[in-house]
Amino acid sequence: MKRLVIVGATGMVGGHALRYALEHPSVDRVISIGRKNLGISHPKLKEVLHSNFADCSALAAVLSGQDTAVFCLGTYTGAMPDAEFRKITVDYTIEFARVLHYRLLRAIYPVFRLLFPNFVIRSDDLARAMIDVTVRGTQERGGVIFENRDIRTIVKLQAGVS
């Protein structure tokens, strides 16, 4: 069962997306995010009002634990000046993606860590390595730039010493 977010469900595309999602047997929860109420209720539907898409930071908590998002907020060429068009279609999309992407990564972090151990580092390992390098000096640990695999090596060495 999927938990889905739809942005811009008051619009034509978003409205269709909302109907399909609510009817879909594999979707058990839909969060609609927009600046106006939809004016409908449904057992699977939760509405979140958000007026300023230039800053989506306030949506971080709402986006936590969701599986995916469908972004249908937008406008049409010629409907407004170019700068406004760009703001709505490009800047708002990037800002929403910025907030969503960290939320989603957090949800899949355990799997990500298992599959790509060198792409991630635990906060306590990072902190341990920073202290170790500060105390011993960077030369003893072989350089001034430490990638995740180097940090992991430092943590292992340090664990062997103490």
Residues that bind ligand NAP (CB under 6 A): 8, 10-14, 34-36, 53, 72-76, 88-89
Considering beta carbons, is residue 72 or 151 the nearer one to ligand NAP? 72
Closest distance of CB 119 from ligand NAP, Å: 33
Closest distance of CB 73 from ligand NAP, Å: 4
Considering beta carbons, is residue 77 or 123 the nearer one to ligand NAP? 77
Rounded Cα distance between 17 and 38, Å, is 13
Rounded Cα distance between 120 and 110, Å, is 10
Rounded Cα distance between 146 and 134, Å, is 13
Considering beta carbons, is residue 8 or 151 the nearer one to ligand NAP? 8
Closest distance of CB 8 from ligand NAP, Å: 3
Considering beta carbons, is residue 47 or 150 the nearer one to ligand NAP? 47
In DSSP terms, 49 is beta-bridged to: 34
Q: Which amino acid is it at 89?
A: T
Question: What dihedral angle (degrees, nearest 10) is formed by the CA atoms of 72, 25, 46, 62?
Answer: -70
Q: Is 156 helix (H, G, I), strand (E, B) or coil?
A: helix
Closest distance of CB 54 from ligand NAP, Å: 9
- Phi (first) and psi of residue 89, to 5 degrees: -85, -30
